[in-house]
Amino acid sequence: MKFRKSQVLIFGVLVLALAGAMFALDTSVKYALRQERVAAARTVEVGFRRGLAETFGNLNDAAKLSYTIDPDDADNLELFQKSVRKLMEDNEHVAYAAYFKEDTLNYIYPEDRFGALAGKNMADFAYSVTLAKFAKVPVVEGPSSLFGEEMDVFLFLQPIYLGADYIGEIVVAMDSGYVLSALGLKELEDGNYDYELWRLDFLGQTKTVISTSDPSVDYSDAVKHEFSLPATWNISIMPKGGWITQAEHALIDAAFFTLGLVLFLLGMLLCSTIRLRGRLQVEKYTNADSGLATMEGFFYFVNKRLTKEPDSKLCVLELQLGNFRRFTKNMEREELVMFLMRFRQSVLDCFPEDTVATRLSDDSFLLAIFTDGQDPGRMISEFVLQLHWKRRLDDQKIFITPRYCTVTYPKDGSDARSLVEAAAKEFGKI
């Protein structure tokens, strides 16, 4: 029973170890796949980042128009107005271009749509218009509504300074759809990536999503790039379906479950083969009538145990069943086999299950008892009591009268044969 429990425990530990190994491999493969895709996404992000800087530079017509304003003669707008008209004629995506002289809107084109705004103070416009003045750097803001119209625009703002003195500001409003298309976001989608382009306001408090391929995607663990215009802008990129799709999760899990199952079945097959070989070996060294080991088997099993565990506590019992020949006189073979099986059952009942027993002759037996720290004397006494068999033959009662002696390892012998010889000598003294 104890051996059986040990087998179940070992089996459970091995199953848990196999499951743990498969889980670790499953996790490692997913991690490696994720890292590979993160690296690929970072490469895409680097390329996008470089293209982004170039795109904003090309789109910033306000910076180009600033060269038409002479800081020493800021009232002379002839070249500026000519350049603005050409810009609007060539680029229908430009909604308007304006010039603030200091804080006053000095000129805006097209005048037929927005001329009424001329003369207004910068403070009358959205806060974003004043950003370039205070930031003292080019600013991109948006998307925002075009003076209350349904059109959304991005504002490109270019401040003009003469040394430390603020001269004015150029504003170019550009259709938001055109700007977003120029950023290359569609190329990200075509490359099987989801993205979210968002920005914080100039104070860093409010997040505004400018464009996204899929609003339902969680971009918390996406590859991110932050850039300043000078408000903080961010682009978040990740593969469509996530770093590992649900189908891939299922496929990898199924693959390692199958691998684990195959290894488990192979292990079970191996264990069954080993057990079968063990049973065949036991059968090879077992007497069919008595169920006890043959003499060859006795030597084999005892020496195998002593070789494997040289510190074993072993007691060899030689036993003779007195009157056994008279007891079995005229006994049918089936009845004799029954008594031999009864003898074997007594061995199983009284001694540890790794005890090896063999039949020396009709009435003599040898038992190798591996005591494992137990008292062999008590077990032997109980065993011998069970062997006082009786039988009525020719109206007479015949009794079995057991006699025995014991020798121990390594005191009386170092292997099975020397212990058997020592037991024979000791029995001869009885």
HSE-CB of 33 using CA atoms within 13 angstroms = 14
Do the domain assignments include residue 254?
A: no
- Rounded Cα distance between 1 and 15, Å, is 21
> 283-294 as b/e, with b when 16 or more CB fall inside 10 Å?
eebbeeebbbbe
- Domain identity same for 52 and 68: no
- Domain identity same for 313 and 421: yes
List the pLDDT tens digit at each of the 430 positions of the chain: 455 666 677 778 888 888 889 999 999 999 999 999 999 988 888 888 888 878 888 899 999 999 998 888 888 889 999 999 999 999 999 999 999 998 999 999 999 889 889 999 998 888 878 888 888 888 888 888 888 778 889 999 999 988 888 899 999 999 999 998 888 888 888 889 999 988 877 666 778 888 899 889 998 889 988 887 777 888 899 999 889 988 999 999 999 999 989 988 888 888 888 777 767 666 677 777 677 888 888 899 899 999 998 888 889 999 888 888 888 777 778 888 888 888 888 888 888 888 899 888 888 889 999 987 788 888 888 988 888 888 777 777 888 888 889 898 888 888 989 998 888 888 877 6
- Domain identity same for 308 and 424: yes
Do the domain assignments include residue 264?
A: no
- Domain identity same for 318 and 363: yes
- Domain identity same for 314 and 409: yes
- Domain identity same for 70 and 90: yes
CA quadruple 345, 349, 354, 357: dihedral sign: negative
Do the domain assignments include residue 424?
A: yes
Long-range contacts of 250-255 (CB under 8 A, 24+ apart): 252/26, 252/29, 252/30, 252/33, 253/26
Do the domain assignments include residue 244?
A: no
Do the domain assignments include residue 247?
A: no
- Domain identity same for 156 and 209: no
Count of structural domains within the chain? 3
Do the domain assignments include residue 261?
A: no
- Domain identity same for 143 and 158: yes
HSE-CB of 409 using CA atoms within 13 angstroms = 28
- Rounded Cα distance between 95 and 151, Å, is 9
Domain that holds residue 356: 285-428
Q: Among 166, 181, 196, which residue terminates a domain?
A: 181
300: CATH = 3.30.70.270
Please tell me whether the overall predicted TM-score, pTM, comes out greater than 0.75 for this model. no
